[in-house]
Amino acid sequence: MDKCLKELIEISNNVGSDLTLIQGGGGNTSVKTGDGKYMYIKASGTALKDMTQEKGWRKIDIERTISILDDKMLSTLDSDSREAEVVHRLNISCVDGLKNAGRPSVEAHLHAMLNKYVIHLHPNMVGAYVSAKNGLPMLQKLFANEKKHFLWIEYADPGLTLARKVSALISEYVDKYGTKPEILFLEKHGIFISTASYDAALKLVDKVKKICGRKLKQTPKVKIKAIDNEIINSAKSAIRKAYFNATGQYVMVSHFVDRQISSFMQRKDAGKLLAYEALSPDEIVYTNGPALWIEKTDSKYIEAKLTKQIAKESKPSLAFLVKGLGLFVVGNYSLLNTTKDIVKSSLFIRVCAASMGGINPLNTRQRNFIKNWESESFRKSILSGGAGNQLQNRNAIVTGAGSGLGRGLAIGLARAGANVALADIDENAAKETAAMIKAQLPTISTMVVPCDVTNADSVSSGFDKLMINWGGLDILVNAAGVAPAFSLTDLPVNKWRFALEVNLTGYFLMAQKAAQIMIKQGMGGSIINLSSKSGIDPSKNNTPYNATKSGELHMARGWAMELGQHNIRVNSVCPGNVFEGSKIWNPEYIKVCAKKYGIKPEEVIPYYVSKTMLGKEIKGQDIADTVVFLVSDKARMITAQTIVVDAGQAMVR
């Protein structure tokens, strides 16, 4: 590995692991080659701590990069066209030959004109000064005894405008001091550290952090009161319902509370401090502005606040600071922690800036530029995984998710964008399913829920875990099932009762708890009972399966009649014979079927396939596609129905 690239990765991982230096994974780094011709720089959308030899960086031509600043034609373009053209030119300045490696940081121009090692960060302690009305004179006092002067950059729109402004200021600095600046404070933004040596760069970051932190008040020690989960879950439901009613969007809701959040909530001026607009571009892009101060957890009260924001053509808040309870964050699973980190940073900065002559937020024009800036939208889409599927951000729970159809349905829902709770009595099997989803869909949230569906306490505990983690439920798929195959005369009564417990009691307990949550949420929902073609057309030597699968259909119809008034839809899916990954179609069961039809075990699957009209083997994905359709808005007027997916065997009349 090139030495410069190695140093870039080490520097990036070092500063990126310190949450006090970054906001939500932001920041940029670069290292120039010894001949000064090229520069390794962080790729946009990559967290500093995640950079490796394989990903997260680009190598660009410095001369080409700086030449972009001198092109007067760019000034004749409107801001959107100009920034798009700049991004294009930065891409063609790359000389690494990498494909699908991401684009270089949009701040590459700034890096190119500075010293060999450049670190751009958004430290909390720096944010306090660059977001305060008297921040500059305060910094001048703090750094008065330092040998080298820092460079203060008054706010400019990110991208080409900022780069050109900094270029002019650096030229003035060099003329005055005979060297390039090592510390650049950017108003309403952050800091650039620029040095000629590797060790000096990291040491200077640490030094600036200590100097800036000297005069800042530390978070006072406060006692964090324990709050009952039921109260937290009720607040989550209120926020989720309010957000859904105001925007039509499904969101996950996470709750956070710590010493800093508790301390801020106890301030008499908490609401006043949060009334100031966004302090930085990151606060606009990732949290849609400051956290919304909430006095009471009433969904209509919260909805009114969100509706008011939208009426002003602002995006609705993604963070809610609820008095006495803590911080609630909504949005995509992959961005929840990023949002939380940026909100906490903002709380700290607001308190500190308020004591330095007052808070100096972004003005209306500056906020509008950031809202429309393609580069920030791109960075957010990278971190969120670019998800945009029909079940995006809906929360689902699937029973029997550790194997067979349950596993296939869980994966299918995840592919459609849903977050999936994997309920199974076999915890290790459910973990395997979670690993499979993670490998395919890293931005999708999964949760393993050890659950015995025949036990009411176990079921209740599983749903409690889901609510604590995600704050709501939209979809239940009952898929756990058993099929003890015996003739009527040979059927042991304990096998009969076992089938009744799993296939009927299990479906009932799960649906009962899910319905209670969905009714309380007031957002509708969807319940699917996975039955079988045997629920319509009975099969030989299958008394427990015939009875329970038929019963599941009738339970679903009755539930649909009860729950329709709450906009909760209940439907059933009757698969044909799905052999792929099935625990039911095990070697012993296949032997029973072979004996029943007088054929060899290896002939059983081809025999069943031959009985279908299409003559095709049914796969788990075929069933998953049907379930995804039924729980989606495309099926919004379908309830109390039975869909048979069997390649043409049973007919529903």
Residues 6+ apart with CB under 8 A from 228: none
Categorize the per-residue pLDDT at 378 as very low, low, confident or very high, splitting at 50, 70 and 90.
Answer: very low
Residues 274, 293: contact at Cβ < 8 Å?
A: yes
Instruction: Tell me the pLDDT tens digit for each residue of 424-440.
Output: 999 999 999 999 999 99
Distance CA 6, CA 2 (A): 6
| Other beta carbons within 10 Å of 10 | 15
List of E strands, 243-308:
252-256, 292-294
Q: From residue 123, how far is each of 24, 115, 564 by CA, in Å? A: 11, 21, 52
Is 388's pLDDT higher than 80? no
Phi, psi (deg, nearest 5) at residue 318: -105, 0
What percentage of the chain carries pLDDT values higher than 70? 97
Distance CA 608, CA 610 (A): 5
Instruction: Tell me the pLDDT tens digit for each residue of 120-172.
Output: 999 999 999 999 999 999 999 999 999 999 999 999 998 888 999 999 999 99
Max distance between CA atoms of the chain, in angstroms, equals 101
Distance CA 52, CA 350 (A): 34
List of E strands, 400-451:
419-424, 446-450
Is 381's pLDDT higher than 80? no
Residues 300, 352: contact at Cβ < 8 Å?
A: no
The pLDDT of residue 579: 86
Residue with tokens 């729980």: 631
- Tell me what the pLDDT averaged over the chain comes to: 92
Residue with tokens 């009411």: 456
Is 383's pLDDT higher than 60? no
List of E strands, 262-385:
292-294, 319-322, 326-331
Residue with tokens 């070697």: 587
Q: Which of 545, 597, 607, 608 is catalytic?
A: 545
Give how far the C-alpha of residue 3 lies from the chain's centroid of Cα atoms, to the nearest Å.
Answer: 35
Distance CA 403, CA 409 (A): 10
Domains in the chain: ranges and CATH = 3-213 (3.40.225.10), 229-384 (3.40.225.10), 395-584+618-645 (3.40.50.720)
Helix (H), strand (E), coil (C) string for 555-621 = HHHHHHHHHHHHCEEEEEEEECCCCCCCCCCCHHHHHHHHHHHCCCHHHHHHHHHHCCCCCCCCCHH
Distance CA 543, CA 547 (A): 6
Distance CA 405, CA 409 (A): 6
Instruction: Tell me the pLDDT tens digit for each residue of 449-482.
Output: 999 999 999 999 999 999 999 999 999 999 999 9
Distance CA 405, CA 403 (A): 7
Distance CA 127, CA 208 (A): 12
Distance CA 43, CA 258 (A): 33
Phi, psi (deg, nearest 5) at residue 330: -120, 160
What percentage of the chain carries pLDDT values higher than 90? 75
Interval 239-267 mean pLDDT: 94
Distance CA 528, CA 641 (A): 10
607 classed as catalytic: no
Residue 625: both structure tokens together: 């596609």
Distance CA 551, CA 572 (A): 11
Range in 109-123, 377-391, 543-557 with the lowest mean pLDDT: 377-391
Residues 584, 548: contact at Cβ < 8 Å?
A: no
Is 394's pLDDT higher than 90? yes
Residues 6+ apart with CB under 8 A from 329: 253, 254, 256, 318, 319, 320, 336, 339, 340, 343
Phi, psi (deg, nearest 5) at residue 13: -65, -35
Q: C-alpha dihedral over 153, 159, 160, 164, to 10 degrees?
A: 10
Is 370's pLDDT higher than 90? no
Closest residue by Cα to residue 429 from 384, 459, 393, 398:
398
Name the pTM for this structure: 0.86
Q: Identity (one letter) of the amino acid at 427?
A: E
- Alpha helical stretches, state H, 93-191: 108-112, 124-130, 135-142, 160-177
Is 504's pLDDT higher than 90? yes
Is 242's pLDDT higher than 60? yes
Residues 643, 572: contact at Cβ < 8 Å?
A: yes
